Amino acid sequence: HCLVHVQKWVAAHLETLQTLTGINDLRELDFTDDRLQEVLRYLNKDSQWKEYEQAQGQNLIRVYELPTDVVRLDTTTASTYQAPNLEGILRLGVSKDHRPDLAQIKIMLGALDPMGMPLVTQEAPGNSADDPLYIPAIEAIRAVLNRKGVLFVGDSKMSALNTRQHIDSNEDYYLVPLPGTVVTTEVLDEYLDNLERDENLVETTPIYKETVSGEQ
């Protein structure tokens, strides 16, 4: 993002910003490139970024009265043409961009569902496994929401036993597809049969997956 555009935007909205912030002597020159760079240097420190991210998330939820019942977690990667750095986070790893020759970083994002507003963004070395990234992100999200009973939604990589135990320990819930290594087809069929016989269960919607042979 180009910092130069911020000063022009502030000049066009100066009165609004003065009213919202309560800073009557706020000026366009407070948002020059060099001053914005100082802000970025400050936020580049992990402790200060976490403090800002937590406060920003709480303010947005309060002002817009956003629902906080469901949070979706997922990872992605961002590639770069810079050389890999074994002492930093730019590493060669499994590429979702189909470019294993490029260094990348791994990003964990926790967002409010269904609107997709980011609550937590965390970076990790590009060769990191996804599994260990969930618990730190969940802890950061809990610091923002400060409540129990949240439903965390993720892919099968969030189904690791220690991750699910960690979610349950705070009286929260999870929704993940369980891989065959966790629940066999026979055990899953037994679970579903029990659900069908449960008279107190609300109506369910069957979902079928088609196999290679065309069977469901």
Task: Provide the residue range defining the domain that includes 115.
Answer: 45-197
Tens of pLDDT, residue by residue over 87-104, are 888 999 988 888 889 999
Q: Which residues pair with 112 in a beta bridge?
A: 71, 117
Q: Which domain CATH number covers 57?
A: 3.90.350.10
**Residue 204 in domain:** no
**Residue 146 in domain:** yes
Strands (E), 38-97: 70-80
pLDDT grade, residue 204 (50/70/90)? Answer: low
Please count the structural domains in the chain: 1
Report residue 101: phi and psi, to 5°: -80, -10
**Residue 206 in domain:** no
Give the model's pLDDT for residue 1: 56
Q: pTM higher than 0.95 for the full model?
A: no
More confident residue, 180 or 157: 157
**Residue 16 in domain:** no
Q: Answer whether residue 121 shows pLDDT above 90.
A: yes
Say if residues 63 and 56 touch (Cβ distance below 8 Å).
no
**Residue 33 in domain:** no
Q: Answer whether residue 74 shows pLDDT above 80.
A: yes
> What's the Cα-to-Cα distance from 215 to each of 179, 189, 206, 210, rounded to whole Å?
19, 16, 15, 5
Tens of pLDDT, residue by residue over 35-66, are 999 998 999 888 898 999 999 999 999 989 99
Q: Which residues contact 87 (CB under 8 A, 6 or more apart)?
A: none
Report the distance separating Cα 190 and Cα 119, nearest Å: 37
**Residue 61 in domain:** yes
For CA atoms 198, 199, 203, 205, the dihedral sign is: positive
**25-29, 74-78, 133-137, 190-194: the lowest-pLDDT one:** 190-194
Tens of pLDDT, residue by residue over 11-29, are 999 999 999 888 999 999 9
**Residue 27 in domain:** no
**Residue 94 in domain:** yes
